[in-house]
């Protein structure tokens, strides 16, 4: 009789770490219905709500990242790190997992570090084209490192790396069939081009400012706008719903319908977003956030630009270049088609299954 498997999965701080972790858990659960799962995250971070909502248990560590300036939080970091390592030790000893999977974030770093010291196999899932310091430090002891981009040999041991892509929502795989449903759901005009604006679940201040400033310009170009401004900014921007052909949302639940309806997309370039947009295969203008560690988003977008699969404007370029770049894109069907084909070629739609295959290989070898 096959023994009941136990998995610890850790990742958090942002949706880019949490949603891949949940996707991996769901795939494991579909293959091993009687398995036990325990998530480990950072106290007071969004995973403490999102993971239970997905149906999994979670324990929180007292850990947070280092700020870029001198703060009380930074002075507390050594104490938080020691506390997290110590708590991780007790969690691992009590739960006794067969394997520990980390999708990024400081909580993930603490758990994987202790697991490796205890001889428990570990798997790292790195979403970005430029790895964070936590995963770089953990790489040497990891059993396997699942990456989303090629060319990461300078950061990770080559023999441990597998290019799998990033876990994405499986409902995006048949996006072409959802255009009509998307137009109906968002009450859009089928004769107009649709611009989808995404800044992440919390929103992106600079993108919101851009759309608010340029909204009349965009409408004059004949586009209709589906705009996810984020829950932090909805009160500030929801008045634009009074304009014809503008649809503002704090958060879009039916992302497959939004992608299906879109003709052109403006988006941040977090790792999960980039992976989704490759699968969706729509012409995309990336506006990376300059405020993330090690400028991950610019590097993620650049990896697509290097293959001529998207356009990119840095926030510092928006004032001078946005109108010309967007007007040229929305009016140029040939450019849109080329961008669509090139970004779609970069898609790795079965990443979650391949990551779980790697996890199973370690358990059963």
Say yes or no to pLDDT of 224 above 80: yes
Residues 127-153: tens digit of each pLDDT:
998 888 888 989 999 999 999 998 899
pLDDT given at position 214: 98
Mean pLDDT of 71-87: 73
Q: Beta-carbon neighbour count of residue 158 at 10 Å? A: 9
pLDDT given at position 172: 87
CA 19/CA 12 separation, integer angstroms = 9
Mean of all residue pLDDT scores within the chain: 92
193-207, 226-240, 277-291, 327-341: least confidently modelled range:
193-207
CA 254/CA 271 separation, integer angstroms = 20
134 Cβ neighbours under 8 A, 6+ residues apart: 104, 105, 106, 108, 109
pLDDT given at position 65: 56
pLDDT top residue among 222 and 292: 222
Residues 298-324: tens digit of each pLDDT:
999 999 999 999 999 999 999 999 999
Residues 106-132: tens digit of each pLDDT:
889 999 999 999 999 999 999 998 888
CA 36/CA 26 separation, integer angstroms = 12
pLDDT given at position 329: 98
Say yes or no to pLDDT of 356 above 90: yes
CA 240/CA 315 separation, integer angstroms = 22
pLDDT given at position 83: 84
| Cα separations in angstroms, 15 against 151, 173, 271, 273 | 25, 20, 10, 10
Q: Which tokens is 96 given?
A: 């006794």
Residues 238-262: tens digit of each pLDDT:
999 999 999 999 989 899 999 999 9
The size of the chain, in residues, is 365
Backbone φ and ψ of 196, nearest 5°: -105, 125
CA 303/CA 132 separation, integer angstroms = 16
The answer to whether 261 touches 182, Cβ cutoff 8 Å, is yes
pLDDT top residue among 265 and 1: 265
pLDDT given at position 134: 84
Mean pLDDT of 214-221: 98
Mean pLDDT of 18-36: 95
Secondary structure in 3-state letters for 302-321: HHHHCCCCCEECCHHHHHHH
Backbone φ and ψ of 269, nearest 5°: -125, 45
Say what percent of the chain tops pLDDT 70: 95
pLDDT top residue among 67 and 100: 100
Q: Which tokens is 249 given?
A: 């949302």
The answer to whether 345 touches 309, Cβ cutoff 8 Å, is yes
Say yes or no to pLDDT of 271 above 80: yes
CA 363/CA 121 separation, integer angstroms = 8
Mean pLDDT of 344-364: 96
Say yes or no to pLDDT of 77 above 70: no
CA 124/CA 186 separation, integer angstroms = 38
pLDDT top residue among 81 and 149: 149
pLDDT given at position 120: 98
Provide the greatest CA pair distance for the chain.
Answer: 67
pLDDT given at position 279: 95
The answer to whether 116 touches 89, Cβ cutoff 8 Å, is no
């Amino acid at each position: 009789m096959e023994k009941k498997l136990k998995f610890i999965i850790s990742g958090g701080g942002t949706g880019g770490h949490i949603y891949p972790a949940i996707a991996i858990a769901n795939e494991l659960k579909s293959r091993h219905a009687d398995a036990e799962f325990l998530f480990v995250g950072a106290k007071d971070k969004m995973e403490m709500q999102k993971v239970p909502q997905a149906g999994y248990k979670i324990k929180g560590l007292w850990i947070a990242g280092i700020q870029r300036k001198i703060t009380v939080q930074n002075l507390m970091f050594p104490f938080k790190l020691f506390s997290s390592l110590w708590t991780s030790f007790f969690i691992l000893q009590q739960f006794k997992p067969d394997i520990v999977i980390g999708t990024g974030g400081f909580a993930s770093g603490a758990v994987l570090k202790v697991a490796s010291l205890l001889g428990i196999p570990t798997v790292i899932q790195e979403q970005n084209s430029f790895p964070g310091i936590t995963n770089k430090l953990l790489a040497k002891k990891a059993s396997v490192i699942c990456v989303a981009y090629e060319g990461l040999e300078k950061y990770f041991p080559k023999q441990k790396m597998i290019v799998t892509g990033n876990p994405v929502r499986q409902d995006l795989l048949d996006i072409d069939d959802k255009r009509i449903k998307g137009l109906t759901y968002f009450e859009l005009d089928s004769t107009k081009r649709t611009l989808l604006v995404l800044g992440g679940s919390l929103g992106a201040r600079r993108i919101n400012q851009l759309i608010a400033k340029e909204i009349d310009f965009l409408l004059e170009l004949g586009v209709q706008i589906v705009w996810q401004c984020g829950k932090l900014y909805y009160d500030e921007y929801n008045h634009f719903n009074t304009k014809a052909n503008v649809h503002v949302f704090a958060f879009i639940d039916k992302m497959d319908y939004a992608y299906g309806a879109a003709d052109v997309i403006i988006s941040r370039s977090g790792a999960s977003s980039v992976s989704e947009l490759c699968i969706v295969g729509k012409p995309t203008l990336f506006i990376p956030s300059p405020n993330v560690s090690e400028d991950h988003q610019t590097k993620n977008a650049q990896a697509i630009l290097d293959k001529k699969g998207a356009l990119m404007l840095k926030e510092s370029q928006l004032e001078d270049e946005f109108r010309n770049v967007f007007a040229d894109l929305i009016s140029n069907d040939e450019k849109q088609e080329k961008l669509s084909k090139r970004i779609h070629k970069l898609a790795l739609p079965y990443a979650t299954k391949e990551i779980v295959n790697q996890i199973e290989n370690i358990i059963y070898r």
